[in-house]
Amino acid sequence: MTPDELRTIIELGESSRVQFKERLTDAHALSQEIAAFANCKGGQVVVGVNDKTGALRGLSFEQIREYNEITAHAATNNLLPLIAVETEQVRIGSEMLMVITVPQGSNKPYKDKNGAMWMKIAADKRRVTANEEIARLLQESGTLYADEMVVFGSTSVEIDSEQVHRWLEKKYEGTWESLNKSIDNELRQAFLMKDDFFTLAGLTLLGTYPQKYRPECSIKCLALPGTTLIADTFLDSEPSLYGNYAEIFRRTMSFFERNLRKVPSGEGFNAQSQWEIPAVALQELVINALIHRNYFIRAEIRIAIFTDRIEIISPGTLPNSLTIENIKAGTSIPRNPILQQNAQYLLPYKGWGTGIRRALQHYPNIDFINDTERQIFTAIIHRKVS
């Protein structure tokens, strides 16, 4: 890191990725900071900076040696599992500072020596105690998938037989009458049922009313007369859309049909009209939200149509190390692999990480926001203002 780069970091102040320490005195306290960074997106501890004023408080040779020992002790003896951190010294003017760089952990959750888990919240850290947050950390490490978890109480009595037949017919490319398949065996082999209960993937794809058990597996749609959510009246407001995902998808597209402008597809007198935004782009974004959202966050997907844009808001940020640039390039890291694998038989879903690319191909005027503070991912489809 160059002095100019570090100077810029200090000038910007503390954040969820940067922490200032004037001095290091306690390996246990430092291990909590390291755990908090590792359990989130990683970050840097800059030692030799006052956290209230940003004033530089340079370190001596002896302090740097001592602080390297404290850091090594914190990362190896006060943290489980172990994580490799890097230290470097950077001189700004006459002041020598130390930078501890913590990567995002690949084996979450990380705990201090007392078994406590920590996460960054803006510039602060807090202890993790909620089961859902612990589950999210396990999900990010790839050791737990929400879609394969059992939804207790949801038995095969609540199965949508027509959806099951459609799933099997598409999967095996034959008619239901000719397949001669055991539904129970097929559901279990596909991890859509376990121990006589639906998994989350099975419930949302094949259940008659998934929201009886998981009300957040729904979409809320609004159409507004302006450019903000503050409005006395709505142009169109759907109650939360319930049903299995094929039904929710159908009703969401009907909502777009009611509320988007129709434009001519060509210049001829007999040119047919089409939506102002290509339907295929909206289909890809809605399906992307249903399949790739974070199901450990108990919130529904929200769609808002404003006069200048459409927002599709999904619970959860991009998984692991994915970035917006990655997904635009077609990189995909499955967050819900069972749901992803089986949705292709019931929804117009291709997989292979092509959804975002296909949406942009048909309508490039789309922006994406990966909001790590609010834990939401938003697709913004800009409308042409008439």
Instruction: Please state, in angstroms and rounded to a whole number, the distance separating the CA atoms of residues 257 and 273.
Output: 12
The whole-number pLDDT of residue 143 equals 66
Domain 3-144 is in which class? alpha beta
The whole-number pLDDT of residue 271 equals 61
Question: What pTM value is reported for the model?
Answer: 0.71
Residues in the chain, overall count = 386
Domain regions of the chain by residue span:
3-144, 155-210, 219-382
Residue in the block written with tokens 């004023």: 53
184: tokens are 């129970």
Q: What is the DSSP letter of 341?
A: H
Helix/strand/coil for 169:
helix
Q: Residue 173 region, left (φ>0) first, then alpha (ψ -120 to 50), else beta?
A: left
In tens digits, the chain (386 residues) has pLDDT values of 999 999 999 999 999 999 999 999 999 999 999 999 998 889 999 999 999 999 999 999 999 999 999 999 999 899 998 899 999 999 999 999 999 999 988 888 899 999 999 988 888 888 988 777 777 777 776 667 889 999 998 887 889 999 999 999 999 998 888 888 889 999 999 999 998 899 999 999 999 999 999 999 999 999 999 999 887 788 998 889 999 999 999 999 999 999 999 887 766 556 678 899 999 999 999 999 999 999 988 899 999 999 999 999 999 998 877 889 999 988 888 889 999 999 999 999 877 668 899 999 999 999 999 998 888 999 999 998 86
Q: In Å, how far are 86, 106, 284 from 1, measured between CA atoms?
A: 12, 24, 41
Q: Which of 316, 333, 327, 326 is nearest to 377 (CA)?
A: 316
CATH, domain range 219-382: 3.30.565.60
Instruction: Please state, in angstroms and rounded to a whole number, the distance separating the CA atoms of residues 147 and 295.
Output: 8
Opening angle at CA 130, ends 126 and 134, nearest 5: 85
Instruction: Please state, in angstroms and rounded to a whole number, the distance separating the CA atoms of residues 131 and 257.
Output: 40
Residue in the block written with tokens 């709505």: 234
Helix/strand/coil for 325:
helix
